[in-house]
Structure 1
Amino acid sequence: MTNHDDTTSKDVTAPSPSHGSTRVDMHVKLLDERVVSRAKARDIDVLVYAPHFTRLPAIRRKAAAFSDDELLVVPAREVFTGTWRQRRHLLALGLSEPVPDFVTMEAAFATFARQEAAVLVPHPGLFNVSLDREDVRAHADEIHALETHNGKLFPSQNRLGRELSAEFGIPGFGSSYAHLRGSIGEVWTEFDREITSEAELVAALREGAPRRVIHRTGLGHRVRSALEFAHLGYENTWGKVDRLFLSGMEPTHPGHIAYDGKFDDVREY
């Protein structure tokens, strides 16, 4: 059983993709042979791969290694803007140059614009890691899509995403936000066109191409969502504290030598 929304939600019972359309799981955090196999089994055409604390060249190499004629893996960056305590996440596709974490939100938007990237707002309403209503209002003209269904979130949080999408006229998108392999393909965005490259997906997002946001339903979906949310507790406490403060400077820290001081004037750390 699946459920989809354009501006409203309706029950649908036809899980097969339409002719000439493309199913995209718009945000996943892991990538290996098992992830690829599961995506194909669930008729996903495109995965957007955006792991935390990984520089763009490494993401691009891995995405290319796991792409084939059946599944396109598009590299992306979920950039942490602001400070650790007040971080706001932005998902950028189509970047031509690396962008570090922990820069100001204004600098991130400006850098994305210079690179003509597609800029997405992931998981609105998720604790202190999401843009709020005022953030969206301030940057509505710079945002190409806003998440209206995230497989990790509760219904009230996803409802906020739909409200913000409607209020500011920003197209929606959906993703599994998979940190666990079993979540791949639980949520997807189905575009009304064939998408066979990163450039075509970026164009569809920047142009506001028609799409449906679809998610699975039933007990299995609810269990996978609960497992993902439970994983969030580890990920945002000890898991990231260990990476940030015990393991040395992260590869995406703005002070890392890879960025050659380019972001020193807009870094928060």
Structure 2
Amino acid sequence: MTDEHHPRREWSREEVADQLRALGVKEGGVLLVHTAFRALRPIHGGPGGLIDALRMAIGPRGTLVMPSWTGSDEEPFDPAATPASDDLGVVAETFRQLPGIVRSDHPFAFAAIGPHARRVTDTPLPLPPHVPDSPVGRVHDLDGQVLLLGVNHDADTTLHLAELIADVPYRLPKHITVWRDGGPVQIPYGENDHCCQGFDLADGWLREAGMQTEGPVANGVGRLIRSRDIVRVATERLAGDPLVFLHAPDANCEECDEARASIRA
């Protein structure tokens, strides 16, 4: 444990880039990143230094992608000004403000930079948010990699894509606010939502199948997986049990109980 006698060391951008390459990040590839910077810090340059290291690892022909959706269901989304949700962390918010970044023009936004940035982000409003024709679906189509830095699969949006491909039966009523005809309009939709803690099951599935590489990144741990492998493994499990990601009814998980109730409804 880090304390005043054993402080975390600061890592350089170059060192972190080398770690990412050792993990298997492909030069010239499409890389979707979910991260909690507090698990990795300190890195020279802060969150911007980590972004630099990621771009060094994928090279100039690579495309870097991060989630960038809004934290509000009520406020209309402005891709140039609306902050990324606090839940996405400081790296995602830093990334979406950088010069040259392309961001989706809908509230379920992703941000990207690189040759495939517009192909990833330029999608119609996806309802539910992670349908195949969504940014996370485009990463899958491009055979991109998913990198989890300091987080586990409970932050892995590609598993929501897998749920929709597998046609899970739960949908919770939601709404999002967009600008239409000069004013804010609420659009209702049904989302395959739950607490997402069950997504951590994918960690064991992918490791057992030899589809996930893990290793140190700065002061934390990175997990790297092909998007298509995540979807393949998850849809196979969902075919056997469409509710595999939900807590059992006796677990007293309100969000998973709501998902189960939506099936009955």
Same fold (TM over 0.5): no
Q: Give TM-score scaled by structure 1 length.
A: 0.30
Q: Which has the larger radius of gyration?
A: 2
